[in-house]
Structure 1
């Protein structure tokens, strides 16, 4: 008998739950997608064995990892992974997200990013979240901007996109810039939200 996954917070189309060791092969399949390899600027795929070894380390680490779910259907379906890499001394965090090929282009990246920002600002209490994205990744840049990120700077010619050298954008969002309804506040104080 299947049980519903744990969802910490959600909106109408997306939910965030815990990183799950039983999904390692699913995560690995998404990570081997050529479009994702290009988007991350990685030059080589990883074996399932190496990914499985890395999973144990990730589950013990100090980073905050989420499984991203599509909740628009009758049952939540895992569609990606999002990670916050916090620096507690300065109360900031780096953000990384990965979506399955079949989940892209449906607004789930923006929704997941907004939920992670909500969690970062209202649970982890960071003051700023930042990310790096290759400049030619127009879909990623657009999703991050919709979620509230702004371009903060450019690292020139540090990445590769389809075999060509490219710039990498640094984007950030401050807690005070977080827009939209808060799923965390709605859980804590439903009358206020």
Structure 2
């Protein structure tokens, strides 16, 4: 699945070192929920478990330079009994600020609603992460509520914003139905 600037592909074991490098970036650790670094060995062990799991994981590719360049990871954590999923996205530092997160998120929503037939996708974002909130809003998410004092941002307690995107609100063009 792709747009002109972004594509989704399978989550790949051969990219574990790239994923690990992104995850060690201090700016990502601030909003990722895990504030300590992880060894490459531990990440490699975790990768084997992730590849066998029921979560839907994608590698996000940047197409702006001509060829597909790995730029991030997008994950749906499904709750099959209620046909919903939590969404998590992580972009490498070099991929941020160019609309790639919004494009990847729209592709994941397209997949969620047109392939896996989910009713709704939701996410949590730390309130001080204004760029993240805007990117999710541009992709189709809306604020559903606030989890007060549920997170930390640069060592300070902060709120988490709960956002959702029901299938009925997904009005974007479908890369799948094209």
Fold match by TM threshold 0.5: yes
Partner of 2:8: 16
- 1:116-131 equivalences in 2 (<5 Å): 116-131=108-123
Tell me how far apart the structure 2 counterparts of residues 96 and 179 of structure 1 sit (CA, whole Å): 21
48-57 or 172-181: bigger deviation: 172-181
Partner of 2:125: 133
Give 1:180 deviation, angstroms. 1.8
Tell me how far apart the structure 1 counterparts of residues 35 and 53 of structure 2 sit (CA, whole Å): 25
Q: Which residues of structure 2 form unaligned runs of 5+?
A: none
Among 51, 57, 64, the alignment partner of 2:56 is 64
Partner of 2:135: 143
Q: Which residues of structure 1 form unaligned runs of 5+?
A: 1-8, 187-193
Give 1:43 deviation, angstroms. 1.9
**Could you tell me the TM-score, scaled by structure 1's length?**
0.91
**Could you tell me the TM-score, scaled by structure 2's length?**
0.98
Tell me how far apart the structure 1 counterparts of residues 105 and 35 of structure 2 sit (CA, whole Å): 25
SS of match in other structure, 1:120: helix
Tell me how far apart the structure 1 counterparts of residues 172 and 43 of structure 2 sit (CA, whole Å): 36
Give 1:38 deviation, angstroms. 0.4
Among 165, 168, 172, the alignment partner of 1:173 is 165
Tell me how far apart the structure 2 counterparts of residues 33 and 179 of structure 1 sit (CA, whole Å): 34
Partner of 1:53: 45
Tell me how far apart the structure 1 counterparts of residues 40 and 128 of structure 2 sit (CA, whole Å): 29
Partner of 1:162: 154
Which of 1 and 2 has greater Rg?
A: 1
Asked if the contact 1:130–1:170 (Cα under 8 Å) also holds between the matched residues in 2, the reply is: yes
SS of match in other structure, 1:124: coil
- 1:102-117 equivalences in 2 (<5 Å): 102-117=94-109
Give the root-mean-square deviation of aligned CA atoms: 0.7
Q: Deviations over 1:17-73 (max 9, x none)?
A: 000000000000000000100012322111111100000000000000000001122
Among 183, 186, 191, the alignment partner of 2:175 is 183
Partner of 1:82: 74
Q: Deviations over 1:58-108 (max 9, x none)?
A: 000000000000112221000000000111110000000000000000000
SS of match in other structure, 1:183: coil
14-23 or 71-80: bigger deviation: 71-80
